[in-house]
Structure 1
């Protein structure tokens, strides 16, 4: 099972509380959202959703380089939540664009590029998952 999307724009959740995107706070032990943000912001269109999710998992769990292949198998043996469930789109105001190869970049709500992607008829459109029930 994969979490990758192709030619898709995931807009912020309908109940996102910010009008402008903000970076997740950096703390001594960074949150999943902070690690996701750092990876994608520093490497736009270089990684797929699967690669991002696993890299964050490996970092948070201090997986040794020698164990990465086995851990990747274990990690993806169970279904994983996709980036629609990330706090980036639910809380911090970041939309994710997934290109034709499934590689991801971030676009902040309220920016021209976000609005352009939101209106692009050539993309599949999904929204990040709501934080609370409607």
Structure 2
């Protein structure tokens, strides 16, 4: 399992970690469980422990929970570090440890605070691709840990423009799979998805493929991937792949630098 830092919510108004008020609230109990037991619980184990403390019920069964919804990450300035075993610890947003981890390991953002139900929102439970893009751009703009120059580079990379796209055009010169050279038809596609990548990985040209739109969509959706030799792997869920313009003889020429990212795609994105 890859290490990961869950960053505070992009619309959080705090820049300093604080302790939740005393009491038997879920947020206070969650804080006490994690601050007193760093790297002891996985997310599932942590949620069970929180319920045990709150309800004194040791036989609870927790099916689903996301730490990214916790007010610790939305209101109180705490990030969560998951080690390679999935064990969690709190990390203060104003700490050197938080800043270092945010640069060195994979990062994702906590969920935003809930929008007013009567308003149009980009924070719907099921976001369209457009809304997801807007969400990512807002997250970049609200990140106080990076410079304006870095923000501009990340924004351009997210929308497939600027230096990142130029780097991919310089590397591939054509669709990495089909060989199509018409630039207007080619999409700058991340191999390890944007949402799972650190800021450095988001700008790394080796984390990118230049693809025709139909191939990009299938790749981004996990319906195709590529093995260590670059040969295409087609998901069983894509039964009409020929109609989608995809063939079994497709391949991509991967360098050693690409292979880490492609391995991540096969393990975490591809739908076998």
TM-score normalised by structure 1 residue count: 0.80
Q: Select the residue among 51, 57, 61 that pairs with 2:45.
A: 51
Aligned positions of 1:32-111 closer than 5 A:
32-63=26-57, 65=58, 68=59, 71-72=60-61, 75-76=62-63, 80-111=64-95
Q: What per-residue deviation string (whole Å, max 9, x for no partner) do you get for residues 47-72 of structure 1?
A: 11111111111222221x4xx2xx22
- Structure 2: distance between partners of 1:126 and 1:56: 23
CA distance in 1, matches of 2:4, 2:36: 20
Deviation at 1:6, TM superposition (A): 4.5
Would the aligned equivalents of 2:43 and 2:65 in 1 still touch at CA under 8 Å? Answer: no
Q: In the alignment, does 2:112 pair up with 1:130?
A: yes
- The gaps in structure 1 that reach 5 residues or longer are none
The alpha carbon displacement at 1:110 in A equals: 1.4
Q: Which has the higher contact order (CA 8 A, sep 6+)?
A: 1
Distance 1:50 1:87 in 2: 17
Q: Provide structure 2 residue ranges, at least 5 long, that are not aligned to the other structure.
A: 116-121, 123-272
Aligned residues: 116
Question: In structure 2, what is the Cα distance between the partners aligned to 1:106 and 1:59?
Answer: 18
Q: Supply the RMSD in Å over aligned alpha carbons.
A: 1.5
**SS in structure 2 opposite 1:119?**
helix
Distance in structure 2 (CA, Å) of the matches to 1:125 and 1:54: 24
Query: Segments of 4+ in structure 1 off by > 2 A?
Result: none
- Larger-Rg structure: 2
Residue 11 of structure 1 pairs with residue 7 of structure 2? yes
Distance 1:6 1:106 in 2: 17
Match of 1:22 in 2: 18
